[in-house]
Amino acid sequence: MSHVTRLSSGVALAAISLGMFGWSGPALAQSTGSQQTEAELIIVTAARSRTTAGLIEAEKTPKTRSTITAEYIATQPTGQTVFQSLNLVPGLNFTNSDPYGSSGGNVRLRGFDGNRISLTVDGIPLNDTGNYAIFTNQQLDPEYITRTTVNTGTTDVDSPSASATGGTINLRMRRPDEKMGFRATASAGSYGYGRGLLSFDTGAFGPWGTTAFVGGSYQSYNKFKGPGELEKKQFNARVFQKLNDTDFVSLSFHYNENRNAFYRNGTLAQWAFYGPNFDNLATCARVAPVAGTAQNDGATLVASNANFLASADNPDNPSSCTNFFGLRINPSNTGNIRGSSNFQLTPNLRLTVDPTYQYVLANGGGTTVVAESDRRLRGAGLVLTGAGAIPAGVDLNGDGDVLDSVRLYTPNNTNTNRVGVNASLIWDINETNRLRFAYTFDYGRHRQTGEFTRLDAQGNPLDVFGGREGPKVNGVDGSFLRGRDRFSIAQLNQFAIDYNGLFFEDKLRVNIGVRAPFFERQLDQRCFSQNGTSNVLCTTETPSATLANGNVTFVSQGTNQYIAPYKATRKYDAVLPNISASYEFIENNSVYASYAEGFSAPRTDNLYTPLRGATGGILLNNAVPETTQSFDLGYRYQASNLTASIALWNTKYENRIVSAFDENLGISVDRNVGAVDLSGLDLELGYRLGQRFTAYASASFNDSEVKNNVPLSATTSLPTGGKKLVETPDTTYGLRLQYVLDGLTLGVQGKYVSERFSTDVNDEKSPAYSVVDLDASYDFDKLGVKNTVLQFNIINLFDEGYYGNISSTNNALTIANVSTVAGVTVARTGAAPTYSLGVPRTLQVTLKTKF
């Protein structure tokens, strides 16, 4: 026990509680049950992690895994999303939307997008319950993260997600300090950046030695191009109670509030024409109301000219308000409460329980021009057969008539209330055999609405959440104008069993597990759905006719058929094995192999596309869940000053779905690309020379192949067979060098990303790029000032110009023939992908202190 006493109290507790039966391990996995189950040599690992400056750790788990710790995160820009700090991890590529991370970004892990990666914090799932999206700008402030672990390509056996086909990313929040004290951080940087963080640790207090901390942060800055600001407020707290040498209970709190203006993406042609400052407009040209005459907020008064690629980018046109920065916003309020606990029931049996509650309210902005005589405003009533049969409309701009077309703020709000629990019963059969039974319950109430609200004279919305929080736009019958109104429940019941065994003097480790997710989506569409599409009509207008198949028509919608509001349920289940083994054949040398199956149930939006044929029954999207089979074969060398790993991997997809953001619709549109084969090689190395110099390097090589053409209709298909996946680089390299001398720490790191295709048919691509960052910090301890550090960061040191996020499309160029019928020619017009600009050179200075 003499070694353990040198560790921090939190690590020592983990060592004691796990070491009772010869198993010891750090908190590397996601849930408390996984932490307690995974057996690592904690003292050796803790010592080795110091040799690599927090970028690589010795791993005993028999699967491909990378870990970064607080030591490395502390060298990165403050306030930054942790995903940017993960960007050197092999197999992972993150493109940040701005220098400081508040705008979000796009993550790819071995070709998997964020929707297929299980993201957790302290064991609770953070992926959206509807579309499984990851919101990288809403994660814990980096000062609270003690470590982040990436399972590259394979999932944990208890991954609490219905979409974890592409690996896991697990964040761990730090425990409260045993001593009372404050931590403070103040930062300033390019683009008007300012940030402050203050947290308070209570130290041990009360009769049971309870510890706790509470803290808050605030940051704001201007966009690096175009008008608009980004603002983030965050609050975190944790209470930790040790019950005895093995048992504890903990409760953590997190709240994040973002108010962001979007960056404008552009096509390659737009970037070439406008240059790097192309963005949303600073003004919105509203039409002045005039009584007795018709005004149109969507009018094009000035045609395209030499200075504008499109009239929508001409600020003299009211139609250009579509691109007004005040309407291209992304407000979000998110929060969660997380519990964790461990109870030693008997000497060989323990129980872990992690309950959680989550809250989300967010939208992506948006605007629509609505006629004052719109049938939705005129409400329920008779069919329009003559003057006065139905009220003429609603005066939206206050000019005393109903002749106008007026711009409104029309965001699609998503509000989620979510509860869940992860529980594990762990039986130590003997010193070398362990069995775990795990259960996950995840229940999300997913409300999606689109309540409209008015704009002020400058074109800004009266409330960022539209009519949900602000004044609604009411029709003559008291109904409110909305573009979406549906309610969904996503419910996951998952059972898992996991066996861990040690053999041949602990040289052979075997893990055999299986998880069985049972997932259900309950759908409640509260608007009329256009037959065979995802378009909806939210109205109190009385249908003009009911057809023989049960569909209805409306006078205002011509011959379009609509399905009345409906409810439906879809269920999905699977049995997914998860098998791995490692063998240390020579001291410090080991090999491992793993096999895991995954599945991803269809997303909410996929299911709200009803179709009713001539016979009458409603048919919903019967999409088959995506399934994966992932194989890893790896080698590790883990010595005191050198840690290295090599992993060969292969993933086979069936029924894969690609999602890309449609700027015109304001939603992500799913496209099925059938079967896909992925394979590659990941390498990672950490080296320490003496006590001053450390080096870290990573490399990844990825090959993907779409196996089939994608059907576009019964007689056409997209020629995707043999093509590579979009947004996935074939090659990435990462490197970090760090030197420490008398309180001064210097670090330089770089990332190379090869070309990425931006269309499914691979007819356009984004160029390769390299970005280098620099950091330097000085600890004033040598000058007699305790616990105070001055830090300087430069992002994109050489101001490399590159494209970051990609909004992919099917094809950029016209395809001469997509017909599958002999002798018939059908051309398909291209749609240009759009790209975000990469982050320019950015400087930040930070003062950190603890007292």
28-47 pLDDT per residue, tens: 345 776 666 654 333 333 33
Mean pLDDT, residues 48-69 taken together = 79
The predicted pLDDT at position 387 comes to 52
* For residues 483-508, average pLDDT: 96
Cβ neighbours of residue 615 closer than 8 Å, sequence gap 6 or more: 549
Q: Which residue has the tokens 């995974």?
A: 38
**Which one-letter DSSP state was computed for residue 286?**
P
Lowest mean pLDDT among 219-228, 406-415, 603-612, 777-786: 603-612
Lowest-confidence segment of 16-20, 98-102, 274-278 by average pLDDT: 16-20
Which of 510, 494, 528 is CA-nearest to residue 422?
494
* Tokens, residue 748: 């330089």
Q: Is-contact 284 458, C-beta < 8 A?
A: yes
Q: Which burial class, exposed, middle or buried, applies to 387 when counting CB atoms under 10 A from its CB (0-12, 13-18, 19+)?
A: exposed
CA distance 128 to 105: 15
- Give the mean pLDDT of 794-819: 95
| Nearest-angstrom CA–CA distance, 565 and 608 | 11
Question: Distance between CA 780 and CA 847 in Å, rounded?
Answer: 11
Is residue 424 within 8 Å of 346, Cβ to Cβ?
no
User: 732's torsion region: left (phi>0), alpha (psi -120 to 50) or beta?
Assistant: beta
Look at residue 11 in the predicted model and tell me its pLDDT: 32
Looking at residues 769-795, what average pLDDT do you find?
96
In the predicted model, is pLDDT for residue 18 greater than 70?
no
**β-pairing, 167-173 with 118-121?**
parallel
- Distance between CA 780 and CA 789 in Å, rounded? 6
The answer to whether residue 645 scores a pLDDT higher than 90 is yes
Instruction: Give the contacts of 569 (CB within 8 A, at least 6 positions apart).
Output: 520, 521, 522, 523
Split at pLDDT 50, 70, 90, the class of 23 is very low
pLDDT tens digits, one per residue of 379-426? 875 444 455 566 789 999 999 999 999 999 999 999 999 999 999 999
pLDDT, residue 309, reads 56
Q: For 119-128, 291-300, 485-494, 655-664, which range has the lowest pLDDT when averaged over its residues? A: 655-664
Mean pLDDT value across residues 149-174: 84
Count how many Cα atoms sit within 13 Å of the Cα of residue 842 in the half-sphere of its side chain.
Answer: 26
Sequential DSSP letters for 225-238: SSS-EEEEEEEEEE
In DSSP notation, 515-566 reads: EEEEEEEEEEE-SEEETTSS-EE---PPPSEE-TTS-EE-GGGTT--EEPPE
Through-space distance between the first and last CA atoms of the chain, rounded to whole angstroms? 31
Cα angle 774-777-783, degrees, rounded to a multiple of 5: 160
Angle of the 9-19 helix axis to the 42-49 helix axis, nearest 10: 150
Instruction: Give the pLDDT confidence score for residue 20 in this predicted structure.
Output: 32
pLDDT tens string 282-313: 999 899 999 999 999 998 877 666 555 567 78
Single-letter code of the amino acid located at 122: D
Q: In sequence order, what DSSP letters do the residues of 10-58 get, joined into one string?
A: HHHHHHHHHHTTT----S-SSSHHHHHH----HHHHHHHHGGGTTS---
Burial class (CB in 10 A: 0-12, 13-18, 19+), 550: middle
Mean pLDDT of all residues in 364-385: 82
Contact 324, 315 (CB under 8 A): no
* SS3 (DSSP) at 597: strand
Q: What is the pLDDT of residue 41?
A: 34
- Residues ≥6 apart with Cβ < 8 Å to 600: 115, 116, 132, 162, 163, 164, 165, 625, 626, 657
pTM score of the predicted model: 0.91
Q: Is the pLDDT of residue 1 over 60?
A: no
Neighbours of 431 (CB within 10 A): 12
Closest CA to 258 of 105, 361, 131: 361
Q: Which percentage of the chain shows pLDDT scores above 90?
A: 74
Question: What pLDDT band is residue 157 in, cutting at 50, 70 and 90?
Answer: confident
Could you tell me whether strands 413-430 and 433-451 are parallel, antiparallel, or unpaired per DSSP bridges?
A: antiparallel
What confidence score (pLDDT) does residue 640 get?
A: 87
> Dihedral through CA 609, CA 366, CA 812, CA 820, nearest 10?
10
8 pLDDT higher than 70:
no
More confident residue, 222 or 659: 222
Residue, of 650 and 657, whose pLDDT is higher:
650
The residues, ordered by sequence, that sit 6+ positions from 172 with a Cβ below 8 Å of its Cβ are 27, 121, 122, 145, 146, 147, 148, 149
**Residue type present at position 501:** G
Q: Looking at the predicted structure, is the pLDDT value of residue 825 above 80? A: yes
424: closest CA among 508, 489, 513?
513
- Bridge partners for 164 per DSSP: none
Whole-number pLDDT of residue 38: 58
Rounded-to-10 torsion of CA 522, 527, 528, 532: -50
Q: Report, as an integer, the average pLDDT of 801-824.
A: 94
